[in-house]
Structure 1
Amino acid sequence: MPSVADPAVEARAGVAADGLTREAPAVSIPAAPRERELRLDLFRGLALWLIFIDHLPQNLLTWLTIRNYGFSDATEIFIFISGYTAAFVYGRVMAQRGFVVAAARILKRAWQIYVAHIFLFTIFLAEISYVASRFENPLYTEEMGILDFLKQPDVTIVQALLLKFRPVNMDVLPLYIALMLFLPLILWLMRRKADVTLALSVALYALTWQFDLALPAYPNGVWYFNPFAWQLLFVFGAWCALGGAKRMSRIIWSPVTLWICVAYLLFAFYTTLTWHVPQLNHFMPGIVEQWMYPIDKTNLDVLRIAHFLALAALTVRFLPRDWPGLTSPWLQPMILCGQHSLEIFCIGVFLAFAGQFILAEFSGGAGIHFVISVCGILIMSAAAWIFSWYKKVAGKGGSRTRAADGDADLAGGGA
């Protein structure tokens, strides 16, 4: 973590568990712990694995992902950690170096993620086009949403550069780029009036639902992840990092909160169970169904937010920062993936289509599905280990500035 004397070195150390800040005229950034917050890396890596598995056709491991047991999924985990860690890292830079320097570093990171998105877009198109032509199956182009590219490549490329055109499974990076572009303003406001900033975020979320605010997509429709709605989870993560987590500690540790979270998670579990076992739907009151459905993912339905918050509250309560399992070699692959989230996310998108192609062309049972899922996770873990090893080797003679900027990875944190 950064210190006043050398922000780059301290930013490399990690992110604090609960941003210990207080509002004076401005929010102060707490001193960093000696060790990085491995829980953030762990759940960021878990989110990457879950996203990869969810992008594959239905298989045995799919039933282990959280979307089958509640309203939220790995995306909420991803965006919350993005806001938390990005605010912590760049909030320190803003406190020590000023708004201009922090904004410059944030925009630089947004540009790096944009370049990664365009690179992934190019490789992904090449992968899909090759498979479709090699195996003479044009359904791949339609299923993965690149049919318009093949019809009008010149127009589609321009729309892709504007983040309006995105193939299937490539919606997370544009959302994160959009959120990062507004992070300098968010941090500037939050360091002065954190609670007011969060209230403004809630107001924008409410206006989004009231007036259908959205960004247009190409060739039709809107962004799959509406930034006007998803910014709430991002800003809430930043608010927690800059002192909100500490101020909420009494609420989180309250027995009333515990039982409310448990009750809501059980309700969400039963509701999702009715989607897979229609016979159970008879026990669901009609008035509750009319109130709940549809549960909108594009605009981040309130039910999804509440489900994520319940999971997060129980996690903080029962998984302490010094949990011995965080140093277990069995969890190291997941933690390493979380520490290199940008690269691993891109690899996961590429592997997800490769797995989908294998399953479509070479029919197999549950065993093949399981093998493909496990192989994908092993490849992602091996890549994360290589990236970690290379970073250690290159870091011995590398630039401190590059190391500090690397702390704001896809989900806000690097190594």
Structure 2
Amino acid sequence: MTLFVPSLERDLRLDLFRGLANWAIFFGHIPGTALAWLTSRNYGFSDGADLFVFISGYTATLVFGRMMVQRGFVIGATRLLRRVWQLYVAHVLLFIFYLTSVHYLAHRFDIPHLMDQFNVARLMEFPVETLTEGLLLKFKPLNLDVLPLYIVLMGAYPPVLWLMLRHRNWALAGSLLLYFAARFLHWNLPSYPSGDWFFNPFTWQLLFVLGAWLAAGGARTVRPIVTARIPLVLSAAFLLFALVATLATLIPELDAPIVSDLTQAFRPNDKTNLAPYRILHLLALALLVVRFIPFDWSGLGWPVFRPVIKCGQQSLEVFCVGVFLSFVAHFVLETTSNSFHVQMLVGAAGLSIMTGVAYYRSWSKKIDRLALATPQSTMPPAGAAAPSPLGHGCGKHATDKEPKC
């Protein structure tokens, strides 16, 4: 049996679209503003969350799949679970900051409805129970649903990755079986104080596994489909249909009787259980991107794309900051003005902060790597010029870096 070894070569298209997903999630989490029209959710069935999960499965396979092949299942699995712990810590910190900020600002500025709007009112009545359920990922304030989903998917991924590297089609078949079983049997995880998870992990895992399948060699399998004319035409037609169906639900003037009849099966857009047409929409978009934006496209080096690519490369930090800033943006708009110009100003300020965080994290990690690459025995005395760290070899573990996904 031959194991598939994922490539180490970085695909900037992944960083670009993961950055766009983070920006779209930030805009989409600011309710009742024109900023939502800058996201894909108003122009089709899928949105930034679908893209985020899909790319996460792809990158997780690239990073941890190669490690699992080269260093064994145990090391690959433990490194993957270490990443899960990092995600969990990030979620807990975001959870605490989010709760306390909503609570403080709602009472400090006498805006009590924020407590209900952002689903933190139970903190007042049952603080210990609410915090406990939050640590168990069962209680989630408004807009804090994506990261718990990511944690669960990554936590369950080690055995799936082991199978994916050996029999990727079996892994995909198992994922499809779980997806349809969950939809027909209504499987989901319970939420606190009632209900189920907004993002059903039993169905959303299919997007994660689809991304993983492509990274594990599936992309070569579907290459003839991507380059063929008929799939291109069908994808474009479906995207156009999704555009009309989505806009018709948002703009009453477009919702003519014939349009309503044709799009009735797509209303409401089932996001919780990941309706099949959401998957098809994302795959149609992916086909067009791969077809018209090649791996070595020179445009990926254009200055206009650098901020969003950097946000994609530092995805976890940017995501957490973006979720928190979405609440801050809503608070600012509610306490000052909700005019179009203020909305645009708040949106631009949020993106600037997220981009600043991305550049800072990139710089900070670079400094840490340079420090590790410089052996202590070669450090110059005080006042002497430091030797270039690039001029020293540092052994086997110097290049054993673990990229973040």
TM-score computed with the length of structure 1 as normaliser: 0.89
Q: Is the 8 A contact 2:6 2:61 kept in 1?
A: no
Q: Which amino acid aligns with 1:121?
A: F
Write out per-residue CA displacement over residues 271-295 of structure 1, whole angstroms, 9 at most, x where no aligned residue. Answer: 0111122233224366544433332
- Native 8 Å contact 2:27 2:38 kept in 1: no
Preserved contact between residue 8 and residue 62 of structure 2 (Cα < 8 Å) = no
User: Deviations for 1:333-361, whole angstroms, at most 9, x for unmatched residues?
Assistant: 10111111111111111111111001111
Alpha-carbon distance in 2 for matches of 1:403, 1:381: 28
The reply on whether 1:292 has 2:255 as its aligned counterpart is no
Contact 1:67 1:73 in 2 (8 A): yes
Q: Quick one: which amino acid aligns to residue 302 of structure 2? A: S
- What is residue 29 of structure 1 aligned with on the other side? 5
For residue 113 of structure 1, the aligned residue among 84, 87, 101 is 87
Which segment is superposed worse, 278-287 or 335-344? 278-287
8 Å Cα contact 1:105/1:405 also seen in 2: no
Q: Which is further off, 281-290 or 49-58?
A: 281-290
Q: Does 1:343 align with 2:310?
A: no
For residues 298 and 27 of structure 1, the distance between their equivalents in structure 2, rounded to whole angstroms, comes to 35
**Aligned twin of 2:299:** 325
Question: More deviation in 280-289 or 79-88?
Answer: 280-289
Give the 3 Å change call, closer, same or farther, for CA 187–30 of structure 1 in structure 2: closer
- The structural deviation recorded for 1:406 is 4.9
Paired position in structure 2 for 1:20: none
Residue number among 45, 48, 60 corresponding to 2:34 in the alignment: 60
8 Å CA contact 2:64, 2:76 repeated in 1: yes
1:140 to 111, 114, 117: 114
Cα distance in structure 1, aligned partners of 2:266 and 2:205: 22
Distance 2:277 2:231 in 1: 17
- Are positions 1:96 and 2:96 aligned together? no
CA distance in 1, matches of 2:369, 2:153: 29
Question: Per the alignment, do residues 174 and 323 of structure 1 end up closer, same or farther by CA in structure 2, a change over 3 Å counting?
Answer: same
Query: Does structure 1 retain, via aligned residues, the 8 Å contact 2:63–2:402?
Result: no
Contact 2:44-2:281 at 8 Å conserved across structures: yes
Equivalent residues in 2 for 1:12-411, closer than 5 Å: 25-33=1-9, 36-284=10-258, 288-398=262-372, 406-408=402-404
Distance in 1, Cα, partners of 2:284 & 2:234:
8
- Determine helix, strand or coil for the equivalent of 1:368: helix
- Separation in 1 of the partners of 2:360 and 2:84? 24
In structure 2, stretches of 5+ residues that fail to align are: 374-395
Deviations 1:360-410, CA, capped at 9 Å, x for gaps: 1112411000000011001111111111111111210238979967523xx
Gap regions ≥5 residues in structure 1: 1-24
Q: CA deviation at 1:31?
A: 4.7
> Relative to 1, partners in 2 of residues 1:72 and 1:396: Cα closer, same or farther, differing over 3 Å?
same
CA distance in 2: counterparts of 1:292 and 1:68, whole angstroms: 14
One-letter amino acid of the structure 2 residue matched with residue 38 of structure 1: L
Q: Structure 1: how far apart are the matches of 2:193 and 2:398? A: 38
Letter in 2 for 1:138: P
Letter in 1 for 2:292: F
Name the CA distance, whole Å, in 2 between partners of 1:365 and 1:86: 41
* 1:85 shift after superposition: 0.6
Between the aligned partners of 1:206 and 1:146, the Cα distance in structure 2 is 33
Question: Are 1:27 and 1:194, in contact at CA under 8 Å, matched by a contact in 2?
Answer: no
Partner of 1:15: none
Moved more, 356-365 or 276-285: 276-285
The count of residues paired between Structure 1 and Structure 2 equals 383
1:26 touches 1:193 (CA, 8 Å); kept in 2? no
Does the CA contact (< 8 Å) of 2:26 and 2:323 recur in 1? yes
* Structure whose CA Rg is larger: 2
For residue 111 of structure 2, what is the amino acid of its counterpart?
Answer: N
Pair 43,402 (structure 1): closer, same or farther in 2 beyond 3 Å: farther
Q: Give % identity.
A: 46
**SS state at 1:398 partner:** helix
Whole-Å separation in 2 of the counterparts to 1:27 and 1:289: 44
The verdict on how the C-alpha distance between 1:406 and 1:375 changes in structure 2, with shifts beyond 3 A counting, is farther
Given that 2:40 and 2:47 are in contact with CA atoms closer than 8 Å, whether structure 1 keeps it comes out as yes
Q: Secondary structure at the match of 2:280?
A: helix
AA paired with 1:301?
A
- Matches of 2:400 and 2:103 in 1, distance apart? 38
Q: 2:389 aligns to what?
A: none
Q: Deviations over 1:16-59 (max 9, x none)?
A: xxxxxxxxx243215533xx211111111111111101111333
| CA-CA distance at 1:158 after TM superposition | 1.0
Distance in 2 (CA, whole Å) between partners of 1:70 and 1:332 is 26
Deviation at 1:150, TM superposition (A): 1.5
Distance 1:213 1:147 in 2: 28
The list of structure 1 runs, each at least 4 consecutive aligned residues, that deviate by more than 4 angstroms after superposition, is 399-406
